[in-house]
Amino acid sequence: MGTAIVLLLIAVVVVGGVLYASRQKAARAQQQLADEKAEARRWNERLGGQVLNLVGTNEAARQALSDASGSYTAAGSQIEQATSAAQAQLAKQTAMEGLYYVRAARIAMDMDPGPELPDLNGQRSAGTVSEDREVSVEGHQYAVSRTPSSHTPHYFPGGMVAGRPLPQGWYSEPIWKPARATGSWGSGAGLLFGAMFAGMAGVAIASMAGDVFGSIGEGLSDMGDSLADGFGDFGGDWGGGGGGGDDW
């Protein structure tokens, strides 16, 4: 009887400890969510102020401000719907991306771009467009540039889009929007990226691809040399054997 009471007390203590720990964990998660939401709101309010006070004076600026307005609306919705700290952090990234669009609009209007912004997720690894380039892929013309123009009015701040790094720069059309909407790029994305960014300094993916293909090429070259040496040795041995036959 005494043993049963002791075991019951132990069970009560263990269950109570588990419940306490669970409640503490839930409380910490809720506090973290509240903190991340507050941070996201701070960034989105800053974005909203810029969107309301700026008016685009050219096509590139108007397009950038339109994208900034879209980011403001999207971030607000994400903040309200966020149920985890990670979702709130995503909302903050959306608001920060909107501020990059605002910065781009100010640059397009020859205004002071304002203070530097924190890096977006994947932005640094995606790199930055370092030269103007126009390419034709599957009969369609695309252009990318370091600077805004009527020919390249669509700005992208750089980052990962549907698993691909897209560098910061100005584009003739928003090639990232369909990929973001569907979560994947079309079948011609590889050709487009290769034509648009291959060998471009400052674009990390282009540099990495060059290194990879360069290594493959060097490997194939070394393999070819080894095979040639092997056949050369084989031919020499065969010739030596023939000489021996003549002597015989």
Within a domain: residue 94?
Answer: yes
pTM, rounded to two decimals: 0.74
Helix (H) or strand (E) holding 75: helix 59-81
Tell me how far apart the alpha carbons of residues 37 and 88 are, in angstroms, rounded to a whole number: 5
DSSP string, 192-234: HHHHHHTT-TT-HHHHHHHHHHHHHHHHHHHHHHHHHHHHHHH
In a domain, 169, yes or no: no
Full residue range of the structural domain in which residue 64 is found: 24-118
- Tens digits of pLDDT across the chain (248 residues): 677 776 676 767 777 677 767 776 667 778 889 999 999 999 999 999 999 999 999 999 999 999 999 999 999 999 999 999 999 999 999 999 999 999 999 999 999 999 999 999 999 999 999 999 999 999 999 999 999 999 999 999 999 999 999 999 999 999 999 999 999 999 899 999 999 999 998 886 544 443 333 333 333 334 444 444 444 443 444 333 333 333 32
CB contact at 8 A, 143 and 172: yes
Q: Specify if 75 maps to a domain.
A: yes
Q: In angstroms, rounded to a whole number, what is the distance separating the alpha carbons of residues 176 and 144?
A: 13
Vertex 32: Cα angle to 30 and 38 (nearest 5): 105
101 within domain boundaries = yes
Evaluate whether residue 61 is within a structural domain: yes
Handedness of CA 51, 130, 176, 76 (dihedral sign): negative
The total number of structural domains that make up the chain: 1
In a domain, 76, yes or no: yes
Structure tokens belonging to residue 88? 């709130």
Reduced to 3 states (helix: H, G, I; strand: E, B; else coil), residue 164 is strand
Q: Which helix or strand (DSSP H or E) is residue 137 part of?
A: strand 133-137
Is residue 181 a part of any domain in this protein? Answer: no
Q: Is residue 227 part of a domain?
A: no
